[in-house]
Amino acid sequence: MGNHTPYRIMISGGGTGGHIYPALAIANAWMEKHPETEILFVGAEGKMEMQKVPEAGYRIEGLKVAGLQRSLSLSNLSFPFKLLASLNKSKELLKTFKPNAVVGVGGYASGPLLYASQGKGIPTMIQEQNSYAGLTNKILAKKAKKICVAYPGMEKFFPTDKIQYTGNPVRKDILQLDGKKEKAFRHFGLEEDKKVLLVLGGSLGARTINQAVLADMEGLEKEGYQVLWQSGKFYFSEMSEKVKASGLKHIHVLEFIREMDLAYAAADVVVSRAGALSVSELSLVGKPVVFIPSPNVAEDHQTKNAMAFVQADAAVLLKDSEAVGKLKSTVNQLMADANKVRSLSENIKKLAKPKAAEEIVKVLESIIQ
């Protein structure tokens, strides 16, 4: 990619951490290689990207776009107007920013911007994180130049000649956990002689996982474990009040864990949903994992994500419907079996794709050429 004026790249999408963090990982990997580039993010107004992207040092513009509710809802009446406003703003942004390429990572906001970009003949690339493609990405794939995927077998959703099997990009700090355990114990106020159970339900929280920890937290503390528990935004005040009232000393409930590298470094066992980003991060971390897939997602793709790991003897599956009441016994079984812990750790690492962000950058370069 010889002499040129600095690149201008637009990255759109968001709504959840599962879309935002891959987008930031792509941006960071691109800037490492092309530091003169100007990057503009486009998100949905009121969604978490409007906060997370500026925190990471990038500029973002918001669209009024929102998703269609599956149930009959009054908010669906405003959907066409929001979509039209978002398309118009997308066209304005393209006109003033003049990007060399546009990247869509899924979520509401990627639809209008990629659609408008494709209409103007600007090269577009899609990054699909899940084993089951989202509706927006399936529609936009027809005119996208390339589609970066994290799972094999995505030909059932996308044109084969456009697919690049790159894996999901993750935050760089997760790749370097060695020597961080002491710092992690200090940071979270943990005791070094007790095993650590790390519980993750995503940035907003997972009701079943939170209920399962609540039901078993006394037993977990009695077993001698300490729990580092990301309850999520929706559940934090309720969960922290219940922990406070219980008088338990080793159940540490947090709304959101920003220092994920330290949380992973401290953990002996991880309990997590099986969203695309979680699965990709955990394969790099290489700790034994109990996946509790969310049943409330399109085509049950979290169970499909988790099963790919269970079949490779790389994780344990606990059904959402059985989590409350079975969490402690599942964790106990794992903590007590050193051979199982070792084999899970070794096998999950074999499924990792640590160079995903760099691979995606190469694909993006190819569509600009």
Q: How far is the C-alpha of 137 from the C-alpha of 157, rounded, in Å? A: 9
Q: Kindly give the pairing relationship between strand 269-272 and strand 289-291.
A: parallel
Q: Tell whether 179 is in a known binding site.
A: no
359 is in an annotated binding site: no
Token match 């077993």: residue?
223
Residue 18, annotated as binding a ligand: yes
277 annotated as a binding-site residue: yes
Rounded distance, CA 150 to CA 45, Å? 28
Query: Given CA atoms 13, 15, 20, 21 in this order, what sign does their dihedral have?
Result: negative
**Beta strand segments in 189-304, E:** 195-200, 225-230, 251-254, 269-272, 289-291
> Binding residue per annotation — 257?
yes
Residue 95 CA neighbour count, 13 Å, CB half? 6
Nearest to 114 by CA among 134, 85, 94: 94
Q: Was 276 annotated as part of a binding site?
A: yes
The set of residues, in sequence order, having a beta carbon less than 8 Å from that of 358 and lying 6+ positions away, is 29
Q: According to the annotation, is 135 in a ligand binding site? A: no
281 labelled ligand-binding:
yes
70 marked ligand binding residue = no
Does 279 appear as a known binding residue? yes
Coil/strand/helix, residue 262: helix
The answer to whether 280 is a known ligand-binding residue is: yes
130 in a labelled binding site: yes
Which token pair is 241? 């009040």
Strand ranges across the sheet with 195-200: 251-254, 225-230, 195-200, 269-272, 289-291, 316-317
Residue 189 CB coordination number (10 Å): 10
- The 8-class DSSP code of residue 155 comes to G
- Known binding positions for UDP-N-acetyl-alpha-D-glucosamine: 16-18, 130, 171, 203, 257, 276-281, 302
Annotated binding-site members: 16-18, 130, 171, 203, 257, 276-281, 302
